[in-house]
Structure 1
Amino acid sequence: MPFLLEPFAVEFFVRALCGGMLVAVICGVVGTWVVIRSMAFLGEAIGHGMLPGVALATVVGAPVLLGAALSAAAMSAAIGLLQRRGRLSYDTSIGLLFVAMLSLGVIIVSHSRSFATDATALLFGDILAIRPDDIAMLLVAAVVTVGVASAFHRSFVATAFDPRIARTLGLRPQLAHVVLVALVTLAVVASFQAVGTLLVVGLLLAPAVAARAWTTRIPTTMLGASLVGAAAVLIGLFASWHFAVAAGASIATAAVLLAALSATARSLLTRAVRRHHPVEHPESTSPRPASPDAPAVALPERTR
């Protein structure tokens, strides 16, 4: 028992746990839609698109989250603008801006000679450095995420099913897509301090994948993803405390392992159910006698 309770006596561990739980809720809600809409590449691109803003904010001494938010918002707006005004596909637009923003961030980092110690926290997060005001901001972000996702739930569902039907129903699929991209941006920025720019997609995808192995209902998937994300945060923080490893990487690794464990358990359960309750094949519908002694059915004579 002391092995488990020891970290809770340290204030920064409790703050990290509280902040991580809020991040798990945000990523659980948004990550469900990321998985349903196959937007993983967008989340990865926005995560790397934060690099220039974060690097520039660090160099000039501005708030890091402000730089991350502005850079991620610029990335999202540029993707939408390039797709609407240009002749490029959605994934091509994301790919080009992904490389451009990442390159710009590396240029800023390489230009600053005092950036070496901050690079690790930038790329892999520093959840143990979360402060009370950061927790307050994450709480606001969680409330906004849940509220917006609830308000646009019908639009998100209809747009994911068929944008034409959504348009016919007056649900404005284009606005729904913009709002969803904004939620992905918010989730990525909120997760930045926990897992950094390189591992942020782990918290978006893995918990949702783990939850979807057991349910197809969207609200249930969101709840399950939030719980899996919270478990990953707890496991990752414990691993960081007891084994002296990076907290952000431990959290992302725990999330992926929980997703793999969930998929394996679901597969084993399905096989066990099929083994004990085999599916009976329906009998052939071709006519046949009820018993060997039953008279054969007379076939009609062939017309000439």
Structure 2
Amino acid sequence: MEWLLEPFAVGFVQRAFVAGVLVSIVCAVAGTWVVLRGMAFLGDAMSHGLLPGVALAALAGVDLVVGAVASAMVMAAGVSALGRSRQLSQDTAIGLLFVGMLAAGVIVVSSSASFAVDLTGFLFGDVLAVGTRELWQLAAAVVATLLLGAAGHRAFVALAFDPRKAHTLGLQPGLAHGLLLVLLTLAIVASFRVVGTLLVFALLIAPPAAAVLWARRIPGVMAGAALLGIVANGAGLLVSWHAGTAAGATVAATAVGLFFLSCLAAALRSRRRPAPTVAGSAEIVENHTS
């Protein structure tokens, strides 16, 4: 048992674990809607789109979170504006913004040789360097995420089920979509310092995608995703400690591994029972609205 408990007796690993728990909760709430609405590409684009704001914030000597928020707001506003165009599909708009923001960030980074270490931290995070200030920021993000998720839950369900029905019910699907973008932005900005923008996508998508295979109602997906994220966090930190691997990347890889294990278990369960027992995204939403 000593090999299991030894890492978590160290202060910085304890803080990393607490940070991972908070990130798992935030990503579980936002990621559930990302998975149910098929917005994975948007989540990936949003996480990469933070680069120019973070780079400019580093050059100006201000908090990186300020730059991340500014970039995320530009990205979200651009997606909303271009998404209303009848000439462009949403995927095209997201792809163009994705490439444009990433290119702008790389241009800013390439203008200064001092960005080498900072860029590595931005891309891959440094969960073992999380301090008390970051923990308080994550705790505030959890509270904001839960409040926003609860306030918009009915509209989000209707939007995921049928945008036309949401409009008929007076739930303003356009506003609901905007709130979902805010929720996604909050999750990405809150998490990028812990696991980095390239790896936050794993925690945002993998745990909810794994939970969707088993839960039949939206709160169940969120709870299962949070639990899987916490397990991935603890197991990833444990493996990282003993194997000497990068902590953030190990946590993300563990989350993805749990998803594939969940897929395998669901497939084996389906073979034993001829009747379908695994809920899909549409079925989950229908069960929740019934």
TM over 0.5: yes
Q: Encode CA deviations 1:42-71: one digit per residue, 9 max, x unaligned.
A: 111110100011112222221111111111
Task: Name the residue aligned to 1:108.
Answer: 108
Task: Name the residue aligned to 1:33.
Answer: 33
The alpha carbon displacement at 1:152 in A equals: 1.1
Task: Name the residue aligned to 1:212.
Answer: 212
Seq. identity, %: 54
Task: Name the residue aligned to 1:68.
Answer: 68
Write the distance in 2 (CA, Å) between the matches of 1:110 and 1:159: 41
**Residue 98 of structure 2 aligns to a residue in which SS?**
helix
Task: Name the residue aligned to 1:291.
Answer: none
Q: Encode CA deviations 1:125-173: one digit per residue, 9 max, x unaligned.
A: 1111111111111111111111111111111111111111111111111
Task: Look up the equivalent residue of 1:2 and give its one-letter code.
Answer: E
Q: Encode CA deviations 1:202-228: one digit per residue, 9 max, x unaligned.
A: 111100011111112100000000000
Task: Look up the equivalent residue of 2:61 and give its one-letter code.
Answer: G
The alpha carbon displacement at 1:237 in A equals: 1.1
- The 5-angstrom pairing of residues 1-304 of structure 1 reads 1-84=1-84, 87-274=87-274
Q: Which one has a larger percent helix, Structure 1 or Structure 2?
A: 2
Write the distance in 2 (CA, Å) between the matches of 1:110 and 1:86: 36
Write the distance in 1 (CA, Å) between the matches of 2:188 and 2:86: 26
Taking structure 1 as the reference length, the TM-score comes to 0.87
Write the distance in 2 (CA, Å) between the matches of 1:197 and 1:267: 31
Structure 1: gaps (5+ residues) = 276-304
More divergent stretch after superposition (107-116 vs 216-225) = 107-116
The alpha carbon displacement at 1:73 in A equals: 1.2
Write the distance in 1 (CA, Å) between the matches of 2:65 and 2:270: 44
Task: Look up the equivalent residue of 2:205 and give its one-letter code.
Answer: L
Write the distance in 2 (CA, Å) between the matches of 1:73 and 1:84: 17
Task: Name the residue aligned to 1:300.
Answer: none
**Residue 84 of structure 2 aligns to a residue in which SS?**
helix
Taking structure 2 as the reference length, the TM-score comes to 0.91
**Residue 115 of structure 1 aligns to a residue in which SS?**
helix
Write the distance in 2 (CA, Å) between the matches of 1:239 and 1:61: 35
The alpha carbon displacement at 1:82 in A equals: 2.3
Task: Look up the equivalent residue of 1:16 and give its one-letter code.
Answer: A
Write the distance in 2 (CA, Å) between the matches of 1:185 and 1:274: 41
- RMSD over equivalenced CA pairs, Å: 1.4
Runs of 4+ residues over 4 Å off in structure 1: none
The alpha carbon displacement at 1:194 in A equals: 2.0
Write the distance in 1 (CA, Å) between the matches of 2:36 and 2:8: 36
Task: Look up the equivalent residue of 1:137 and give its one-letter code.
Answer: Q
Write the distance in 1 (CA, Å) between the matches of 2:69 and 2:128: 21
Query: How many residues get paired?
Result: 275
Write the distance in 1 (CA, Å) between the matches of 2:110 and 2:239: 32
Task: Look up the equivalent residue of 2:186 and give its one-letter code.
Answer: L
Write the distance in 2 (CA, Å) between the matches of 1:269 and 1:164: 36
The alpha carbon displacement at 1:85 in A equals: 5.5
Task: Look up the equivalent residue of 1:216 and give its one-letter code.
Answer: R
